[in-house]
Structure 1
Amino acid sequence: MEVHIQETVTVHPATPPFSDDHVLPLSHLDTDRNLNVIFRYLRVYVNNESKDADPFDVVVSSLSAALVRWYQFAGTLRRRAHDNRLELHCLAGGGVRVARAKVDCALSAVNYLDDPDEKFVEKLVPGPTIDEALTHPFTLQITRFACGGWVMGTAVHHAMCDGMGATLFFNAMAEVARGEEFTVEPAWNRAALLGPRNPPRVDFPVDQFLSLDKDSVPYAHSGKPAAQEFFEMKDEWLDRLKAALHEQSGSKYTTFEALGAFIWRASVKASKIPEDETVKFAYQTNIRRKVKPALPFGYWGNGCVPMYVQLAAKDLIGQPLWKTAELINKSKFNTTDDYVRSFIDFQELHFQDGITPGNRVSGFTDWRHIGHATVDFGWGGPVTVFPLTRHLLGGVAPCYFLPYSAAGEGKKDGFKVLVYVQEEAMPAFKEEMEKLSGNELILS
């Protein structure tokens, strides 16, 4: 299957949003060294026979209208000379690049990209280099399939926003496409809302999880090839896992805590990490309502902070699984205004020192309830949402919890997980994962 790029256009705001060129500072969450990455993902829309419009034209038109209020997406990221932090330059005439493409097959022929071929989906999403993404931090590709369905591929520099912030913008575009009024007033003011205190102070010991290394390279890895694999997670298996942990500990754990603990241990065990090395479980937690004062509803910058659980590899593998789930559970209680402000102030004090979470980070994220499915341009919400990014929270071995596609004959029981591990460790990792589906759950 070939993806044919037909044209690339630059979309400008429908009316000039400003008269004077200006520079906007970013927050210290936006400029976290581990967010100097391009987040790439796609949304899949099925054909709507009552909708005869060209999706490319609809997206371009709605994007142009939304950029009047959200003009920063047409800006350019540059590094300041005095401290090397990113800032956003907003210049007259800026725009967003959108590519038009087509594929000569039906979405059903690729199962609505529910479990896609890695090489194929790479062609459905813009793939800028990190330098290109600084110049054009937000790019789109609209690919029409022979069935009339289409895919929106997005590449956005993470310094611009997180997943929730991007979804606010896409929902604004979708409101225009459906002929509705904007319901959210975008809020910027990032440096003031999430800037350092004066003087900065670190009251929470974030240095327990973060270290300083000027020579560190974010997302450095061993050079060994990584492999991706999908695993189905049936409700029955998950209920059995959580029941077993409850029986052992007397406590109840969420699916994220129980399954996250299981997958983390399985990947560390399969990868044969030296037993004395420190390994980390990392995830993002939403702080929009945790900080004081709470962030405005229309705040679309990065509004999450990383949380970590760390252990020696031998302890993770050797201790009962419920203890690992318990550590993940307890880490959530660190999400306080004090933690957020200390994390920001740590970034202020040590940005030049090279802040790193280490080289054995396993990033976990749950996309089942993040709001992607609400983005309706008139074809209904996307039936499949799929991430392509491997760089997550300082690690190169992410795990995504994903819903099954809502189209076709896809599975409806439970959900799927997308996991990256070293290629040579995948056979052993699969053996560990098979323990979830056995008639008798084995937690050792």
Structure 2
Amino acid sequence: MANQISVCPLMVGKRTTEFIKPSNQPHYETLSLSTLDNDPRNEIMYCTIYVYDAERNAARIHHHDDHPESLLKDALSNLLVHYYPLSGKLNRRKRDGKLQLRCNGAEGVPFTVATSNLDLSSLGYLENVGFDTASLLLPQIDDENYDREIGYYPLALQITKFPCGGFTIGTALTHAVCDGFGVARFISSLMELAAGKSEPTVVPTWERDLLVGIPDDRPVEIPGADKACRLAVSHYMPTKDMISEAVNVKPEDIKRLKEDLLRESDFSGQILTTFEVLGAYIWRSRIRALKLNPDGIVVLGLAVAIRRAVDPPLPDGYYGNACMDMHVELTAREVDETPISEIVKLVKEAKIKAHDKEYIAEQLRNTEKLTRMGEQFEGRRDGLFFLTDWRNIGWFGSMDFGWGEPVNLLPVVPPDRAADLGMLLGPCKLDQKMVGGVKVVMTLPRDAMPKFKEEMEALDKIGET
């Protein structure tokens, strides 16, 4: 486990932001979004930083005629012909709580070029930088316009150049318009065009009406509301002293954990995925670290893709939200004392349920009603934990547009929003020992983090007699 690095302060000089518009075919329309897009829980920004290291590709870069920002600007302008909604503005109507995207042909995507005073190596290639440092490498989001009729930009980019010759690409893309799959598809298409293709391999399609729920007369169900007073709590929370850290899980530890679970229980020939086994183990580790009260309810949330489960299946170019939020509920004592293999079985059951067509239809109906009524869960969230997997959402093809593949990828989530969120990522490519391993990013109260790392380090001893 690498601790957050300590270096002299990063200083980033930002130039005037340019607005990149579609290269042709301006659109003038107002677009509606799906029921899942409209869910208020999805109105957050996906912020990600891609790290490109000059030293690994010095010869190629030396002979490259174009600057990365020039290629990316041209590629973005051409790509927005297909993804034109991302060049509009998004706002939520007061009368019914629904989002709408306004495309008037005059807007564009904010694109900032910046410079850094430090080399990437002195920042550890962003392997474990803090939120404040990472934020300097992201485009600034105009939060002031979120509640105004004028709306806000659903997409923004920033390229930051470093003295070493490397650079980062920081993206901010609202979850209300794209899920993880959609973000990956967009970024992949951007890299394709920057590398020289004239059109993206998969042409995007809007078609948000394919996932719109039809309300009925049944009472609305607010997820978690019936358990609010019984949710587990931690004496560490609430607190403003939250920290985010990355824990590397070696491939051999994952292999041993799976083998141990197969010895522990009969899975009837089912494949154990890394997400399932690590997710169960991480959930238990978090509960122990927070010292949640044993009889309180704890909830593990996971997003399950339904692109092929709906009828008809969503087209390949669909880039909106297409996941069901599923939950596994137990008491903190049950998670602590139940064999990990049994928790894995509950995760598998939740994934299967998410593909039931009747269940999907019911959840769409309920979410539609929740949005119109403006109802949301309120209460302490200590016992709630949502785990998301960024390894397999589909980084389609190469991200090399002339400077090699990025050596690292860093999602950036504000500590207050990350308090009940865990992420599984691919490891930094500069660490050859971690090929096939997983990087776990977790945000916890500072005093609880040592116990969490202790639990994760215990993976080394799995299977020992």
Same fold (TM over 0.5): yes
2:56 aligned with 1:35: no
Decide which of 365, 368, 387 is 1:345's aligned counterpart: 365
Code of the aligned partner of 2:245: E
Deviation at 1:410, TM superposition (A): 6.9
Q: 1:43-442 to 2 correspondence within 5 Å?
A: 43-47=50-54, 48-128=61-141, 130-132=143-145, 134-182=151-199, 183-190=201-208, 192-197=209-214, 200=216, 207=221, 209-211=223-225, 222-251=238-267, 253-336=272-355, 337-351=357-371, 352=373, 354-356=375-377, 359=381, 360-372=383-395, 374-390=398-414, 396-407=419-430, 411-412=434-435, 414-438=437-461
Deviation at 1:328, TM superposition (A): 0.9
Residue of structure 1 equivalent to 2:21: 12
Structure 2: distance between partners of 1:334 and 1:357 = 26
Code of the aligned partner of 2:404: G
SS at match of 1:301: coil
Structure 2: distance between partners of 1:357 and 1:49 = 55
Structure 1: distance between partners of 2:414 and 2:279 = 17
Structure 1: distance between partners of 2:334 and 2:159 = 47
Whether the aligned pair in 1 keeps the contact of 2:142 and 2:152 (CA below 8 Å) is: no
Q: Deviations over 1:254-287 (max 9, x none)?
A: 2211111111111112112222322111111111
Give the ranges of 4+ consecutive aligned residues of structure 1 lying more than 6 Å apart after TM superposition. Answer: none
SS at match of 1:87: strand
Deviation at 1:132, TM superposition (A): 4.2
Whether the aligned pair in 1 keeps the contact of 2:204 and 2:318 (CA below 8 Å) is: yes
Deviation at 1:440, TM superposition (A): 5.6
SS at match of 1:186: coil
Structure 1: distance between partners of 2:459 and 2:336 = 16
Structure 2: distance between partners of 1:83 and 1:277 = 36
Whether the aligned pair in 1 keeps the contact of 2:97 and 2:374 (CA below 8 Å) is: no
Q: Deviations over 1:327-366 (max 9, x none)?
A: 1121110122222222111112232151339723211122
SS at match of 1:437: helix
Code of the aligned partner of 2:366: F
1:24–1:439 CA distance, 2 compared to 1 (3 A): closer
1:175–1:427 CA distance, 2 compared to 1 (3 A): closer
In the comparison of the two structures, how many residue pairs are matched? Answer: 429
Deviation at 1:295, TM superposition (A): 0.7
5+ unaligned residues in a row in structure 1: which ranges?
A: 214-220
SS at match of 1:29: helix
Deviation at 1:367, TM superposition (A): 1.8
Q: Percent identity?
A: 33
Deviation at 1:311, TM superposition (A): 1.2
TM-score, normalised to structure 1's length?
A: 0.88
Whether the aligned pair in 2 keeps the contact of 1:224 and 1:423 (CA below 8 Å) is: no
Deviation at 1:130, TM superposition (A): 4.0
Whether the aligned pair in 2 keeps the contact of 1:390 and 1:397 (CA below 8 Å) is: no
For structure 1, which segment, 350-359 or 148-157, has the greater mean C-alpha deviation from structure 2 after superposition?
350-359
Structure 1: distance between partners of 2:435 and 2:213 = 46
Structure 2: distance between partners of 1:241 and 1:142 = 40
5+ unaligned residues in a row in structure 2: which ranges?
A: 1-9, 55-60, 228-236
Deviation at 1:395, TM superposition (A): 6.5
Structure 2: distance between partners of 1:366 and 1:245 = 21
- CA-atom RMSD, angstroms? 2.8
